[in-house]
Chains A and B, each alone.
Chain A
Amino acid sequence: MSPAFYLRTMARESRGSFGRLAFFVICLAVGVAAVVAVAGLSASLDDGLRAEARQLLAADLRIQGSRPLPPGLDLARVGLRGAHRTDVQEMVTVVASPAGTSQLVELKVIDGDYPFYGKLDLRPVVPLKQLLNAESAVVAPELLSRLRLKVGDRLAIGGQGFRIAGQVLSEPDHMSISLSLGPRVFLSGPGLARTGLVERGSRIDHRTLIQLPADMKASELSAAVERLRRAIPNPSFYRIDTYKEGQPALRENFLRVGRFLGLVALLSLFVGGIGVAQSVRAWLASRLDAVAVLKCLGMRPREILALYLGQTVLLGLAGSLVGMVLGVVIQLILPRLFPDLIPIQLIQPFQPGALLRGLGLGVGVAILFSLPPLAGVLRVPAARVLRRDAEPLPLHRSVSLLTSLSLVGGIFGMASLQAASLLRGAQFTGGVLLVTAALAGAALGVTRAVGRLPRGFARLSLRQGLAALGRPGAGTVGAIVAMGLGVLVVLGMSLVEQRLAREMSTELPAGAPSAFLVDIQPDQWEGVEGLLKQAGATRIESVPVVMARLSAIDGKGIDQLTESGEPGRPGEREPRGERGPRRGGRGRRWALSREQRLTYMDRLPADNVVVAGKLWSDPKRAEVSLEEDFAHDLNVGLGSVLRFDIEGVPIDLTVTSLRRVDWKTFGINFFLVVEPGVLESAPQQRLAVAHLPPGGEQRAQDLLAGHYPNVTVLRLREILEKIAKVLGRISLAVRFLGGFTVVAGIAILAGAVSAGAGRRGREVALLKTLGMTRRLVMESFAVEYALVGLVAGAIGTVGAVVLAWAVVTQGFELRWDLPVISPTIALVGSIVLTVVAGLAASARALERRPVEVLRGE
């Protein structure tokens, strides 16, 4: 067959087919839209972060650490002559209004020009320098509304009064999507000095922003950074970011979320693939006679296969193009719907890579999912031209195996591409196959069981519906699997997210404290405790905290160890406090270079269990007990000697025990616990926890802000709620994408119904001829669709509950309780949607007059 003849014949043969294959296009378009939207948004964010890297750093170069860069560091000496430097300090503290109401804030202190790039949006619109002096502060509008203040009012920070000189609406290097503990307050360097917070040992993040000389070439940058690294004392304590890397940490996080969402989108494309397979099967069923005639006329089976495959590719292209347009539209709409989730200014909806990916995956899915039904044309008996009842023969086992293997291989390939990992691709493929097999098995079992139900007792419409569901070749299994998969994804995600949100917001474990108090000076403790009691606090506990640096392990210096060790994962910030499960560790660099917090105590709290060695067992040496995961990160064990630097004084501690800590109790716990008698005379602060009655947290914070303004109160519930909110946003995006699987499922159902429209039409005609009213026919159809929805909903719901149970109990190690409301909504929703979609697709069949249809026979 010449290419020209092939194309001509394909064009002729496809006449009249495209209308019938509208559902093919819809099923595919829905999935492609999801893929394009996710890939596009992900690429936009990545591009945006690269393109606006300077703005997002507010500089060309940023050096970050928990201690300041030496002020005398000569930039000219490291080849950065003409560079401008600004030192920034950030810390969390509590401020108070003259009325005594207090609020946790994020303080930012600027010493120099700021920002070098990007826009600092202030009201009034004047440079920050003009607004800030030793007596003034610039604050976020949110703080004004919370403390009921206005510009010009006074505000106490660290016990000192400041005049509110203006408002800050946005900062270039602080994105709206990042987690913050409180509203922003800007102070000047002299202003911070007045507060006395630094002297009292508050925890400060130091940043040095550098603007490179205008004539410096980009190629010289990495050499300059290297010289800088060598010039800085203890370089492992600092992280250097340049605009050229373009926010590697943030980008990596976005990419990780993007890859996960990409898989969710792929799932909806695969559900669409089931619809594609179903449409192709129905289409080919109507072309059996034509295939037989073509064979009679001397067309070879493989030529016929190529003919229909070609049409499938064309349809795949059409579906993908529609999906690409939809995907772009979603990218235009989504940032407007979720402005605090997606930074709208970074979105460029026309991402060639994303569009290409959608096209490739769309056409790939169209081909792969069509192959099994298409292979059937090979087995259409040509003798059908003589005997209409000659049905297609079963496929050769080798052909079946080949099409199945191509399908599984294709799913694996696409999943690996979306997840950018072969392992994740394999896991996803395994999961999809397992779930699909379970759904198909359950759907088949249920429909067969329904077919065998005694139905003599039921009323006519129910009897008809039950019979229709159970009849052989009804094609409902595909629809049930697709719908079930949709329900499973959407409900499963939602159940996990609900459970996590509840864990974060309300279900603090019994006995967990409600507030943490940090930065308490030892001499303040008595007074602080008194105020806490006054606010109604109970079960107050406090421990000493000594800040230190790890300087050597078994005689090897830290700089040497960080260079040889594995690098820390980008973007992992040291957590505030010493809590939180840290499965898998954060990498060695983080563990080595973090600011270490040591405490000392005679006996361990109840949530600590010694798993190796023995507590305080060596009278000859100063001992330290390590949390087991932290010891793993440091790569140390029993007998290792850790040298710490406490404000210039070295101290050697020997590891004599390892502990397992139950972090979920939210008790005071440390990675490093030192035996009593070693650190008592070292400079230290106290950390305290307390149980406060409802409303007592604000009262305690207000009281402390008045008397001990350096003490910061962290409300556990509030912080957890903030984390839950971030999780909630991500889960919303997942549910949004999961919704695409449901839409694809509905399209498949409508497609299945519409594919059977001819048969349906004859059925309606026959039923009407037998005296059934239109209303009764509709009723029996509604019963049938409701049963499809019920079965799909029930199987999907059970699957979702099992999935959510596994994720919650195994993945997050949380207690499981069976939810009732969401599964009920999912089940009812699935029934309603199916009935509506099914009846809508049967409308034409219902309208036809019996005589039209019967004459057609």
Chain B
Amino acid sequence: MRPTSARFSFAMSPPRIELRQLTRQLPSGDRTLTILDRVDLSIAPGEFTAVLGPSGSGKSTLLALMAGLDRPTSGEVRIDGVPIQGMSEDQLALLRREKIGFVFQTFQLLHNLTAQENVLLPLELAGKSDPVERANRLLASVGLADRGHHYPTQLSGGEQQRVALARAFAVRPPILLADEPTGNLDGTTGKRVLEILLDLQKSHGTTLVLVTHDPGVAALAHRLIHLRDGRIERQEALTPARQGVR
């Protein structure tokens, strides 16, 4: 691991995502389970942060709290300086609509929509002009120009994840949260998907938070966050970000 100056250049800008003393507890029988324990974290615009940790360390909960999918027990989540934990469900939905894209391990495409319609959905929700043209362009950018009218079940795992990428980047969200995006794919396919993901991230200047088990994937990030038992065990800054991928 090589420390880098990149960390300092990101640290200069105001944080895109900021977590302050973030705690999430869940009742479990008569005990209280602490999933995240007073986490402090600041992620700069355009930064690629990888979150690593064993099962049950709180990685997915961290993502859920960043996106307003879950609410913290205490502490604060700020997106572009605005605290989101007090927002209503509607305000959170609008926040996600404009600012946050998702990629999941299980793809999470809507099975009764075609690939093109899956990509169209966030565009139409955000009221973008020429949504069909944009969706087709996005599908082309992930190499699926001719697969737009296929349903998810007619696509391979890698193709489904590429549709998910196109959907995630459709409205050019400033933040992309990815939960094990290559976890369900074989090595070659996973590598190809990751390549597209990072290309898009770089070209759009997206802040990327990626949860992974794979040290090879994590090695491509600007920064590594190691979680254990709900706490940040350690952080590392890496460089160069994309060495060894191409």
Contact = CB atoms under 8 A, between A and B. Distances in A.
Contact of B117 (A12, A289, A292): A12
A289 B109 CA distance: 10
A686 interface: no
22 contacts: A13-B113, A15-B112, A16-B112, A290-B111, A297-B96, A297-B121, A297-B122, A297-B167, A298-B95, A298-B96, A298-B122, A299-B93, A300-B90, A300-B93, A301-B93, A381-B69, A385-B102, A385-B104, A386-B60, A386-B64, A386-B179, A387-B60
B96 A300 contact: no
A347 to B, nearest CB: 44
A265 B21 CA distance: 62
Contact of B94 (A8, A9, A300): A300
B235 interface: no
Interface residues of B, number: 33
A299 B89 CA distance: 10
A290 B110 contact: yes
Contact of A386 (B69, B97, B117): B69
A573 B109 CA distance: 73
B122 A386 contact: no
Interface in A543-569: none
B94 A298 contact: yes
A383 B70 contact: yes
Contacts of B109: 293
- Nearest 9 Cβ contacts at the A-B interface: A298-B97, A15-B112, A382-B69, A298-B96, A300-B93, A383-B69, A386-B60, A383-B64, A383-B70
Q: Which of B94, B108, B113, B179 has the most CB of A within 10 A?
A: B108
Q: Decide if the interface of chain B is mainly helix, strand, loop or mixed.
A: helix
Contacts of A17: 112
A1 interface: yes
A646 B155 CA distance: 100
Q: Decide if the interface of chain A is mainly helix, strand, loop or mixed.
A: helix
Interface in A370-408: 381-383, 385-387
Q: Which of A17, A294, A385 has the most CB of B within 10 A?
A: A385
Contacts of B126: 298
B63 interface: yes
Given A17-B112, A295-B93, 11 more contacts: A2-B127, A290-B111, A290-B112, A293-B108, A293-B110, A297-B121, A298-B100, A298-B126, A299-B125, A382-B67, A386-B64
A5 interface: yes
B96 A296 contact: yes
A302 interface: yes
Interface in B89-135: 89-90, 93-98, 100, 102, 104, 108-113, 117, 121-122, 124-127
Given A296-B67, A382-B69, A386-B63, A5 B93 contact: no
B26 to A, nearest CB: 11
A292 B122 CA distance: 14
B73 to A, nearest CB: 14
Interface of A: 1-2, 5, 8-9, 12-17, 289-290, 292-302, 381-383, 385-387
A299 B96 CA distance: 9
A299 B123 CA distance: 12
B112 A301 contact: no
A5 B124 contact: yes
B124 A296 contact: no
Contact of B124 (A9, A16, A386, A387): A9
A539 B97 CA distance: 95
A57 B31 CA distance: 84
A497 B95 CA distance: 65
Contacts of A383: 64, 69-70
Contact of A385 (B98, B108, B125, B127): B108
A72 to B, nearest CB: 85
Contact of B97 (A2, A5, A15, A297): A297
A9 B124 CA distance: 10
B68 to A, nearest CB: 8
Contacts of B127: 2
Contacts of A9: 121, 124
Nearest to A382: B69
A127 B5 CA distance: 119
Contacts of A294: 110, 121
Interface string B167-199: 100000000000100000000000000000000
B112 A13 contact: yes
Contacts of B113: 12-13, 15
B112 A12 contact: yes
Contacts of A12: 112-113, 117
Contacts of B63: 386
A138 B64 CA distance: 93
A387 B24 CA distance: 15
A12 B67 CA distance: 26
Contacts of A290: 110-112
Contacts of B67: 296, 382
Contacts of A1: 125
A386 B179 CA distance: 8
B121 A296 contact: no
A452 to B, nearest CB: 22
B157 to A, nearest CB: 15
Contacts of B98: 298
B8 to A, nearest CB: 32
B84 to A, nearest CB: 13
Contact of B89 (A289, A293, A300): A300
A290 B60 CA distance: 19
A295 B60 CA distance: 17
A294 B113 CA distance: 12
Nearest to A8: B124
A373 B245 CA distance: 49
Nearest to B113: A12
Contacts of A385: 69, 102, 104, 108
A527 B243 CA distance: 130
A300 B111 CA distance: 20
Contact of B70 (A13, A293, A301, A381): A381
B178 to A, nearest CB: 11
A1 B93 CA distance: 13
Nearest to A4: B124
B125 A297 contact: yes
A290 B110 CA distance: 6
A292 B108 CA distance: 9
Given A290-B110, A293-B110, A386-B64, A301 B90 contact: yes
Nearest to B104: A385
Given A8-B124, A16-B112, A385-B102, A302 B90 contact: yes
A11 to B, nearest CB: 10
Contacts of B111: 16, 290
A299 B127 CA distance: 12
Nearest to B105: A386
A7 to B, nearest CB: 12
Given A9-B124, A301-B89, A301-B90, A296 B112 contact: no
Interface string B78-92: 000000000001100
A13 B124 CA distance: 14
A293 B97 CA distance: 12
Contacts of B64: 382-383, 386-387
Q: Which of A1, A290, A301, A386 has the most CB of B within 10 A?
A: A386
Contacts of B179: 386
Contacts of B96: 295-298
A412 to B, nearest CB: 32
Nearest to A304: B93
Interface in B28-73: 60-61, 63-64, 67, 69-70
A2 B69 CA distance: 25
Given A17-B112, A381-B69, A298 B125 contact: yes
A210 B199 CA distance: 98
A142 B80 CA distance: 96
